Chains A and B, each alone.
Chain A
């Protein structure tokens, strides 16, 4: 018996960009179901459906083998302990994870502070970078509107995703250092990939080609 497969797609901008690219492919999502409020959407391939999930939850569905494949930002993936395979860098949604501070403040100024406070949603990546640099800082975990933190005095600087830099400039912030490049990654359940490699490889190729 061959089990039905599910692909986990992220909600939001990345998901919308991806769904547009999947139109006309065997992985195209059913438009009728997409217009409804259901979160499990049939695709053009019988036995294959898509789950629409928040990025932070998505890798858990894949690591548990509920979804065989998923698409998620590397920034999200790096914050989780999900045992998943990362089979492709899709090159979509490319951003930079950057250290940003108010204009006139340099990286050296920040490093010299006896008690540096960094506001970020990306606590693990920031902590790893601090370790590499031999720096210490208090991390202020924030979920959104991170740019406000240095403006209002909650933190000295922030570590956040930067695409064009427009939001930073609007808040008088400048990019001081790029920690890493981030982009959408195609992830796979270890069990599904290793136990059904041919079936999975065909799906991976199809998704990667559509995203390219």
Chain B
């Protein structure tokens, strides 16, 4: 088997300065919006999982922090009887990547919006989207695309059709590749094959404006997804007048990359010319109940490592000659 050297990035002068500057600007932005910083330990006791960087601390197998959201959730459950409503974080996470050229150590800044009252969810989702809209400006990024999606647009039809878990995962993988023709092959013989494929064709449209929601309204699961469509439509109406210059807001209903984790609206930030998303997040109401607390939560994470790569590859996308 060939051996790949994992990518542990050393940041030299300009990149190191850029990272520190961006972290500072984003944490300022979050603090001004009421998000207080928490710093979970770099070492996590939950070492199970394929993509973790693990080592023995004496007799105990532990892992380097692989995900801020989970590290924060475990910390909040351990230390708080009621959740603080707004928390933020900055630092590195360590994950074995799917591709050898991706870094193991990744720098992130992010925030989580927590609540006990389910009635606060819709406003919390809008608050986060609005906050993410301010991120490109804080980083000096000229232009960007904010994509709104919803994990439920696929999860609910799959559940309604009683698809076995493995087949549902295959269908989600096909949608993530925008390949409804592959989903049709995977669903061969299933009574809902045509219906689900038609739905996936609608979801696979390129990201666009509210008219995409109209397309879903004419599809086979129009009634089942009425609430999600209406939530996305309301979000577009509320957020569009607030868009900063250079930022475009679109609906991307094929955003299912975190389908096992997200339970509701999702957010992605892209820039023209970027090969990876620059920020991602959404509503994940399943995590805290799994940890024994009836709290709902949503958040987003700005991928500073992806932004550092973008600043090297496309400096023209940033204000001034030195991003």
Taking Cβ atoms with an 8 Å cutoff, the residues of A that contact B are 1, 3, 63-65, 81, 83-89, 180-181, 185, 188-198, 200-201
Contacts and interface: CB of A to CB of B under 8 A. Distances in A.
Interface stretch (B105-113, B222-230, B273-281): B273-281
Contacts of A192: 275
B184 to A, nearest CB: 10
Given A195-B272, A196-B272, A197-B250, 15 more contacts: A84-B177, A85-B177, A85-B179, A86-B177, A87-B204, A181-B185, A189-B275, A191-B274, A193-B178, A193-B206, A194-B207, A194-B270, A195-B270, A195-B273, A197-B207
Nearest to B100: A81
7 contacts: A3-B273, A63-B99, A86-B177, A191-B274, A194-B147, A195-B271, A196-B272
B252 interface: yes
Central interface residue in A88, A193, A195, A198, by most chain B CB within 10 Å? A195
Contacts of A195: 145, 270-274
Interface of B: 98-99, 145, 147, 177-179, 181-182, 185, 204, 206-208, 250, 252, 268, 270-277, 316
Contact of A194 (B98, B252, B316): B252
Contact of B206 (A65, A181, A197): A197
A86 B277 CA distance: 18
Contacts of A201: 206
Contacts of B250: 197
B275 A197 contact: no
Nearest to A78: B182
Interface SS of chain A: helix, strand, loop or mixed? Answer: mixed
Nearest to B207: A197
Nearest to A2: B272
B182 A86 contact: yes
Nearest to A201: B206
B178 A87 contact: yes
B290 to A, nearest CB: 28
B178 A197 contact: no
Nearest to B271: A195
Contacts of B179: 85-87, 185
Given A194-B147, A200-B206, A86 B272 contact: no
Contacts of B145: 194-195
A191 B274 CA distance: 6
**Closest 7 A/B residue pairs (Cβ):** A191-B275, A65-B275, A197-B206, A86-B179, A195-B270, A89-B181, A85-B178
Contacts of A65: 275
Contacts of A180: 185
A11 B250 CA distance: 37
Contacts of B178: 85-87, 188, 193
A83 B98 contact: yes
A26 B153 CA distance: 36
Contacts of B276: 191
A177 to B, nearest CB: 15
A34 to B, nearest CB: 28
A84 B275 CA distance: 11
B275 A1 contact: no
Nearest to A200: B206
A5 to B, nearest CB: 11
A171 to B, nearest CB: 29
A40 to B, nearest CB: 19
Nearest to B178: A85
Contacts of B204: 87
Contacts of B273: 3, 191, 195-196
A196 B275 CA distance: 11
Nearest to B276: A191
A186 to B, nearest CB: 10
B67 to A, nearest CB: 20
B274 A1 contact: no
Given A191-B275, A196-B272, A197-B207, A83 B99 contact: yes
A186 B161 CA distance: 29
Nearest to B277: A194
Nearest to A189: B275
Contacts of A193: 178, 206
